[in-house]
Amino acid sequence: MTQKLSSSQVSTQPIEDMYFTGLHWIEASAGSGKTYTLSSLMVRILLEKYLPAQVIATTFTRKAAAELKSRIRARAVDTLAYLNQCRELTEQDIQRKAENEKDPLFATVLKGFSGRIAYACERLKLVIDQLDELFVGTLDSFSQKLLREFAFESGKIERAEITDDARRCSFLLIHDVLREWIQQQPQPVIDYLLLNKKLKSQEAYVSVVESSLNFSSAKFQEVAQPDIQLEAFSAQMTAFSQLDLAQLTSLSAYYLAEGEYHAIVAKKWRDHAKLQRLLTEKLPAFISGIQQQGAYALYASEYAETLKQLADLLKKPLNKCPENVLADFEQHPVIQAVRVFIEELNRLTIDLELLDSYLKFHLATEVRKRLPQVLQQKGETTFAQQIRTLADALQEEGGQRFAAHIHARYPLILVDEFQDTNQDQDNLLAQVWRNPARVKLGCMIMVGDRKQAIYGFRGGDMLTFLKAQMDVSGQSGRTYNLIYNHRSVKPLVEVVDALFQQQPDFGEQVIYSPVQAGSRPHPDLVDEQQINPSPLRWIQLEDKSKEAEQVAWKVCQLLNQGVGGSLFFSENGIQRPVCENDIAVLCKGHRGLDHAQSALEYMGIRTSRPSRKSVFSSMVAKDTGAVLTAIMFPYDEPKVKRALLSRLCGFNLQTLMELEALPDGLSRYMEQFDLIREMWLNQGFLTAWHYCLDQFSVWQNLVSSFSRDNERAVVNLRHLNEVLSQHSEQYQGAQNLYHWYLKQLTSPMEREWEMERRLSSEAGVQLMTIHQSKGLEFRIVFLLEADKAFRERDKPLNFSTVEQFNERTGKMEQQRVVAVNDKHLVEQAAVTQHEERALAEHHRIWYVALTRASYRVYAMLSDDKGKSTGGLAYWRGQGEQIFQHQGSVMEPLMMERPVRKMAQESPVQRDLQAQVFPDQRFYTKAKTSFSALAQHLTRQQIQDALAVAELSIGGAEDEPVYVPETEDTVLEQDQPVSWIKANFPMGTVAGNFLHEIFEHIQFADSSEWLLEIHRRFKNDYSILLKEVTARYQTDFPEQEQSENILLSWIAEWLQQVLDTPLQGSFHLGQLKPDQYLSEFPFQMALADRVPAVKRIHQLFADEGIVMPEFNAANAARYLQGSIDLVFHDGQQYHIADYKSNFLGKDQQQYRTEAIQESMSFASYWLQAAVYLVALHRYLKVQLDDYEIDRDLGGASYLYLRGMNGQAQQGYVYWRPSSEFILRLDAMLGHLTVQADTVLLHETV
């Protein structure tokens, strides 16, 4: 298709140069048109090699996945439209057109399919029809899909639901493990830990446990539990408390001002008689405290300064002096006692710190070990655990066989945002798609930007990225670089590119590669009649506390310029002033955003900020809880009053007091709540809750008075309605759902589904962290704290690396090592590695921040001394080395607050016009069925919406109850049907029973029939057996062994059915197992236009078959069904359909005329014709020399109650003309879509 590159070459045009075999690595810098590239590649993949069901595309978030899938569909539709225009061109014209085409996808497709444009169009039609089968999602959801599809191969057959409560489970496990550990320790150890503030509540250990869970594949450095000798320390403390303080007088020569050696005492000890006060006042007081309080005195705040000074006294108390003088001081009994005591105390402190580190290690390892077990007991798992399970299954015995199954099903995978994958995810991908044995059999495309790897706190690791890249390079993978920035205007691209080139080494082997401005057109930003002037602007603060104020003032100034007409976007002569929605404020942390939001709102500037609040923490959630409580306890007066006083019910204290004054005031509402409770218990939560909302006019109450939070209240209540509705299916029973809801109220969390949703009125200046802004684009960006020094706070773990042998590659590789952060445990080299890793991620964060803007960046600088190297100062430099560029300027500070100007807005009148409903349009893969088309009776009316549902139709669900019309005189029963046929129950259940019996028995061998009938009754139809038995005992009360008799009667009935001649002397009992198939399901493609139901009806009328009108199926794209029996009688292929319809108790009522009348009533002629068309399509594909007249037989409709082994009894055989079948085939869309019937059986 395209010219192949050698593995050593790097391409900048993956759309043109990639071929879909082996490994491919795409480096996609910020704004480089990655989604455009991936959607174009996906169109090529689906057009050239694979169908949608064989391809996997994953990305980091569900939102990104939804966008990618929509872009793929749009790109495919555009490509099809483009190719349709080229159908009439010659191959030479197409080649010339390809040379001049600017769109790389269109040009590549034209070159590759210059002689096969018609094929390309038809292929794309098929791809678009099947695009719903393309999986585009996160790696987490893909792992869930794999475990569901390959449960047997993976050995993980038990189903587990994804929990959203894993964090709570971890929290409870921390609590349990902590309690267990405390109970196992000696009480003195626990006392010392508490006194030393090393034993904390479970909340303090959450960060270290969750961080370790994010790196479950990394080596966790083991911590040994220290052996704390408390007895020895207690003895030493006792000895110290008995120190003879009278000996202090012999040290007076040092601490007294007139002492012989006072002059050589260090100045800090001489000042203010510090040494004297320590030895004569503080030391005795401290010893007295030990005598009275024991170990508590060691950690009392009143003695903290004394202990510090005693430790300092041992370092260098004397200036330069004779050795004997120094020796006399150091060998003094008091100084010696202090030295021994301080050393023992320091040793104890170190041991306690080590014990604290051991406890963290113990908690992390135990939670990691127990969490999967706890979740498994509840039938739950997490996405992370699910991926770990998959990765482990692939490495176990038989793992390669499992991987081969996955690879065969999905030979191509595209992994977006690869820099954010963790080690478990990469292990999964490597085992399946980067295994050397399968690399050339499929294709793996990895897309990422190492400069945007900023999710280390979630488990993302640059080491994983680098090792994967080495793996790709080692297996002759191809590399591609997207070097054009299409997001930003050219001046901004150039200045930012020049800035990053000042320090291209970001750390962790991330080297910045120069980029160029892309070809995407941008409207001009006109500022004082200049186009895109100075896109990078620095604001040097004099007082960093004024940062938020300066940002708000500058934003206000920009908006005023927009109102005044001096700052606007211009495109094709149309001017649009800069508005609040064009501006974003980014910061690394939330604190700066809080200040900026406050300053902006003070200026009257609207802001929009992603919610960090759970819907369960809102007042509406608490009011909802109050109403639910009143429903559960309708006669508890305080609870009912609380519910009525909620915003949902709309009462206030005055109206409630007036209500209580009425004779039946409160009792009336108690009855209402009781009624709702009964409705909840009997009809389910949703019915009761909606009744409650309507009964109390909740929606009207929420907005009855003017308030700024009206929309928030309405949105939150709708959100809570959805949450309660969803969880009412999971938590069966009113009490379970009620207690679950109260649990959420008491401890709201930060799960994605419970975060407050965005309001429709939320517009204005965007406020978000740099992490939240990744992947987004803003026109004008303010960066807060842009030169703030980097400092990592409260790091729970230390990350380093170690060289380790990889058995798979046979090479030494770096392995991630995670350790509890403790200066006594972690070597300095490991600490240095951690600091380098953290600093490198800090650089990448600021790369992301600086590449969000498309027009202009304002960077706020707070370092007025010119010493910072943090943030953007790493590239900007200081002093003489400061960055200089024509697009970079220093913006002056604003000295006074500007007055906000408001634009005059005039209402816009918009005319709304309805579009004509199309006859031909795109259909998703929705289905209808014969049953849906033929439900024409009033009592069985269905909506066309049924066509979009997945219908599961039983074998007898198309059998309406039908009693044939008779003459006024009652017919004599010349030949009554047998008792079992006349009294076997009617309806779907009984019909399904008979269908399943015929499906599972062998027609020519009756030896197992009784066993099959008995098994079917006992396992699935026990109620049906009871009903038949009850009728039998009513009619034959003297008979015993009723069940055995009934089973034998049913077996005789089956034999009569199979012995009834259908065509000449042929009967079904002659068929061998390899001559027939039971329950033959199919999906038959319909046209891309509304099915011509009226034309189909007329076709039957022309054939002399009169039926009621059919239902329309405007949304149907596929027709599905299941043929009861397909058989070959030695000459032709036929179908048969079992009907358990009750037409009467006399054999005469099952004559051919009566059955034909029943078939017209139920539109079975349509069913038979559709089944014959389906079989015709299938045989046309399966038989090489298929001829419809020679190979296709007819349809036999078997009315089982009338079949008695005699000819012309209980059945109708119909073989319409071949022309009829072909015309119906065309009406159903075969000629248009050129798609064959898909059957679940492979051969007949």
Whether 967 has a pLDDT exceeding 90, the answer reads no
Cβ pair 353, 824 in contact under 8 A: yes
Assess whether 968 carries a catalytic annotation.
no
Calculate helix-pair angle for 637-644, 619-632, nearest 10 degrees: 140
Q: What per-residue confidence (pLDDT) applies to 68?
A: 95
**CATH code (residue 397):** 3.40.50.300
In a domain, 820, yes or no: no
Q: Is 2 annotated as a binding residue?
A: no
Span of 67-81, 307-321, 479-493 with lowest mean pLDDT: 307-321
381 annotated as a binding-site residue:
no
Measured between alpha carbons, how far is 1121 from 1123 in angstroms, rounded to an integer? 7
- 1125 has pLDDT over 90: yes
Range of the domain at 320: 164-377
CATH number at residue 1138: 3.90.320.10
Q: Which of 536, 508, 491 is nearest to 451 (CA)?
A: 508
- pLDDT per residue as tens digits for the range 1040-1098: 777 888 889 999 999 999 999 988 889 999 999 889 998 888 877 776 565 667 788 88
Share of residues in the chain with pLDDT > 70 (%): 91
Q: 173 and 318 share a domain? A: yes
1-5, 469-473, 606-610: segment of lowest average pLDDT: 1-5
Q: Is 31 annotated as a binding residue?
A: yes
> pLDDT for 702-722, tens place per residue?
998 888 788 899 999 999 999
Does residue 813 belong to any structural domain of this protein? no
Three-state helix/strand/coil letters over 783-830: ECCCCCCCCCCCCCEEEEEEEEEECCCCEEEEEEEEEECCCCCCCHHH
The span from the CA of 54 to the CA of 442, in Å, is 11
Residue (of 487, 419, 483) closest to 452 by Cα position: 419
Segment among 109-113, 597-601, 1019-1023 with least mean pLDDT = 1019-1023
CA–CA dist 960, 980 (Å, integer): 20
Burial class (CB in 10 A: 0-12, 13-18, 19+), 11: middle
Distance CA 794, CA 785 (A): 20
Tell me the pLDDT band of 1237, cut-offs 50, 70 and 90: very low
Q: Average the pLDDT over each of 383-397, 406-420, 535-549 and give the range with the smallest value.
A: 383-397
CA dist 981 to 100, 509, 977, 990, 1046, Å? 77, 82, 6, 12, 11
What is the rounded distance in angstroms from the CA atom of residue 880 to the CA atom of residue 1126?
89
Evaluate if residue 743 carries a pLDDT over 50.
yes
Is 1088 among the annotated ligand-binding positions?
no
Q: Which amino acid is at 1187?
A: E
Clarify whether residues 1049 and 1128 are in a common domain. yes
Residue 217 — very low, low, confident or very high, per pLDDT cuts 50/70/90?
confident
8 Å CB contact between 388 and 424: yes
Residue 1041 to residue 988: CA distance in whole angstroms: 27
Question: CA-CA-CA-CA torsion for 751, 757, 763, 767, nearest 10 degrees?
Answer: -10
Report the distance separating Cα 105 and Cα 98, nearest Å: 10
Is 669 part of a structural domain of the chain?
Answer: yes
CB 57 within 8 A of CB 38: yes
pLDDT digits (tens, 9 = 90+) for 259-288: 888 888 888 888 888 888 998 899 999 999
Residues 1218 and 1089 in one domain: yes
Q: Name the packing angle between helices 637-644 and 653-661 (round to 10°).
A: 130
Q: Is 156 annotated as a binding residue?
A: no
pLDDT band at 959 (very low <50, low <70, confident <90, very high): low
Ranked by mean pLDDT, which of 659-663, 668-672, 805-809, 1157-1161 comes out on top? 668-672
Rounded Cα distance between 515 and 535, Å, is 17
Question: Pairing relation of β-strands 524-527 and 530-531?
Answer: antiparallel
Q: Clarify whether residues 451 and 535 are in a common domain.
A: no
pLDDT on residue 953: 42
What CA–CA distance (Å, rounded) separates 299 from 186? 20
Among 890, 918, 950, residue at a domain's last position: 890
Identify how many contiguous H helices and E strands the chain contains and give both numbers: 49, 34
Residues of the chain with pLDDT > 90, as a percent, come to 55
* Nearest Cα to Cα of residue 287 among 307, 309, 313: 307
- What's the first-to-final CA gap in the chain, in angstroms? 39
Q: Is pLDDT at 778 greater than 80 in this prediction?
A: yes
Cβ burial, residue 461 (10 Å; 0-12/13-18/19+): buried
pLDDT at 231 over 80: yes
Residue 34, marked binder? yes
684 is in an annotated binding site: no
Please indicate, yes or no, whether residues 1029 and 1178 belong to a single structural domain of this protein.
Answer: yes
Residues 155 and 169 in one domain: no
Tokens of residue 150, six digits: 């390959």
Report d(CA 28, CA 517) in Å as an integer.
Answer: 14
Asked, for residue 115, whether it belongs to a domain, the answer is no
Structural domain contains residue 187: yes
Q: Give the residue ranges of DSSP H helices in 130-273.
A: 139-149, 151-154, 166-184, 187-195, 206-214, 230-241, 252-255, 267-270
Whether 856 is in a domain gets the answer yes
> Which amino acid, 390?
L
Q: Does 1124 appear as a known binding residue? A: yes
Q: Please tell me whether residues 594 and 634 are part of one structural domain.
A: no
pLDDT band at 904 (very low <50, low <70, confident <90, very high): confident
164 close to 743: Cβ distance less than 8 angstroms: no
pLDDT at 923: 46
How large is the average pLDDT for residues 1116-1141? 86
pLDDT tier at 948 (50, 70, 90 boundaries)?
Answer: very low
465 and 521 share one domain? no
DSSP 3-state of 422: coil
CA–CA gap between residue 947 and residue 930 (Å, rounded):
11
Residues 1161 and 1024 in one domain: yes
Q: State the total domains in the chain.
A: 5
Phi-psi region of 417 (alpha: psi -120 to 50; beta: other; left: phi over 0): left
Local confidence band at 928 (pLDDT 50, 70, 90 cut-offs): low
pTM > 0.85: no
Three-class secondary structure assignment of 534-588? CCEEEEECCCHHHHHHHHHHHHHHHHHHHHHCCEEEEECCEEEECCHHHEEEEEC
**CA 311, 316, 289: angle at the middle one, nearest 5?**
25
Residue 122, token pair as written in the block = 């038809």
Is 1137 annotated in some ligand binding site? yes
Q: Binding residue per annotation — 201?
A: no
569, 575 in Cβ contact below 8 A? yes
Residue of 420, 471, 1137, 1225 marked catalytic? 1137
Q: How far is CA 446 from CA 43, 690, 926, 950, 1211, in A?
A: 17, 48, 33, 35, 62
Whether residue 902 is contained in a domain is answered as no
Domain boundary among 350, 377, 404: 377
Res 42: pLDDT = 97
Strands of 714-777 (E only): list them.
765-769
Query: At 517, which helix (H) or strand (E)?
Result: strand 516-517
Q: Residue 421: left if φ>0, alpha if ψ -120 to 50, beta else—which one?
A: beta
Task: Give dist(CA 372, CA 360) in Å, integer.
Answer: 19
CATH of the domain at 633: 1.10.486.10
Q: Across residues 819-844, what is the average pLDDT?
A: 93
CA distance 671 to 278: 78
Same domain, 520 and 555: yes
402 and 368 within one domain: no
Mean pLDDT of the region 517-533: 93
Residue 1133 phi/psi, 5-degree rounding, is -95, 130
Nearest to 220 by CA among 798, 828, 819: 819
**Chain centroid, CA 210 distance in Å:** 19
Per-residue confidence (pLDDT) for residue 907, from 0 to 100: 62
Is 1210 marked as binding a ligand? no
DSSP 205: G
Per-residue pLDDT band for 101 (boundaries 50, 70, 90) equals: very high
Residue 464 lies in a domain: yes
Segment holding 890, helix H or strand E? strand 888-890
pLDDT at 1032 over 90: no
Question: Quick one: pLDDT band at residue 376, thresholds 50, 70, 90?
Answer: confident
Report the 10 Å Cβ neighbour count for 909.
5
Q: Which of 890, 919, 938 is the last residue of a domain?
A: 890
CB < 8 Å & 24+ apart, contacts of 329-336: 329/251, 329/254, 329/261, 332/247, 332/250, 332/251, 333/244, 333/247, 334/243, 334/245, 334/247, 334/248, 334/251, 334/279, 334/283, 335/251
1020 has a pLDDT exceeding 90: no
Q: What is the mean pLDDT of the chain?
A: 87
**Residue 993 near residue 1200 (C-beta atoms within 8 A):** no
Residues 284 and 357 grouped into a single domain:
yes
Q: Identify which of 410, 411, 413 has the alpha carbon closest to the alpha carbon of residue 42.
A: 413
